[in-house]
A and B are shown apart, each in its own frame.
Chain A
């Protein structure tokens, strides 16, 4: 895309130069030289080459805080995405954390390889090869090897338990989901790191797999997977005849209908918790209340709010496995301290990446607050 096309596509020309974006940006609060406003203004003045050579282009977290507040409706997220596409085409990329293995793992999934990603399915779990519901597991099997116990970058989590718990919950409410060994990474990170072609390859393979299973409804737990399948697949590959649902939506519905029951005094471990809105679930998908309803209805748990919540919530500090740095850690540490200040025993999140990043910030650091995923919490509390 040319610079003009990017400006037109993202309505960057509406920019008033007001600075609300930069002032809202968590990165700019740590690295003063980083400015979403300046990036847009550079584009408007025709300095496209400067933007794509600037490593700051990769510092953006795609968290959407700026865009949600922009008075002119500049689509800043896609502005960054399209600029990154240009940068990538010139051979420039961001500094990939973990030596880039997570990105390579995604790219490798577009090859015609027979994965063995369903190793986690135990006998007590009821899954199907075909059916109405497709459970989109996402990256959990890979995360488990990288970030799980004894993994390459052990942050003390068990991502794969999330997948098991999801199936347990679905089974409980009468759903026997399709889980496919042919599922691929959703492509979210490739897309937002500027690799549109790589994203499309993965998306096509996923759509083929979902359709072959006969499923009409896809259940996502990972918020990034959810927005990618719901919003970006239709955007880049055309309208699809599938409904994409986030697990919290199903659970909230079931709760309202009184079909989901929790144990009396279910939560022994956690008395008081706070909820961290993942960027994709909150600002992007605007699912704010469902998780709160679910948490609040678990007997014995009190939900308290952090200072910055819902649309104002702050990102977990890294995105797309790019530029994980001291800056990220500051954002993460600050967020965890904010959670500790509420007096909560645990921070509840709903995104596997938030869980990884926030746990990583606790590594060798003096932060006491526990981090718990909402799916695990629900599964452990079910009657």
Chain B
């Protein structure tokens, strides 16, 4: 349907687990689609809803937030705070018409390079299926 459509995906990854997991995918030379561009934060607890909404507003077709597995957060429970917030943001993007499926929260540890690549590959495919978000604000 959307042949040739390459989705724009913004990723927010926590420094200690998921960013390190993404690095490990690199060190292990595990391939995944280039659509995702990662922005590093110290903790997913730093990911304010505005980062998500601004990403969509600027033309992202999907947003991935990746943090430590529950119990592994470097800052005790930043990931769980993020999960609580993302639940609301998902509903928010749902009623805005962006669609919950374009926002994903995943736990990827520093040792899960393979899982990072799998998550990105799968999410990229999902967003590709969904097609482009109706485009940038005309302004």
Contact = CB atoms under 8 A, between A and B. Distances in A.
Interface stretch (A12-20, A27-35, A102-110, A323-331): A102-110
Interface residues of A, number: 28
A110 B137 contact: yes
Interface in A112-153: 112-117, 119, 141-142, 145-146, 150-152
A164 to B, nearest CB: 16
A108 B91 CA distance: 15
A107 B57 contact: yes
A101 interface: yes
A101 B85 CA distance: 13
Contact of B53 (A101, A116, A119): A101
Nearest to A110: B137
Given A101-B53, A107-B137, A108-B53, A113 B98 contact: yes
B135 A105 contact: no
Contacts of B95: 115-117, 119, 141-142, 145
Nearest to A119: B95
Which secondary structure characterizes the binding site on chain B? helix
B96 A113 contact: yes
A268 to B, nearest CB: 34
Contacts of A111: 133-137
Contacts of B91: 145
Given A110-B139, A111-B133, 14 more contacts: A104-B54, A108-B53, A110-B137, A111-B134, A112-B134, A112-B135, A113-B97, A113-B134, A115-B96, A116-B94, A150-B84, A152-B49, A152-B88, A198-B139
Interface of B: 48-50, 53-54, 56-57, 84-85, 88-89, 91-92, 94-98, 133-139
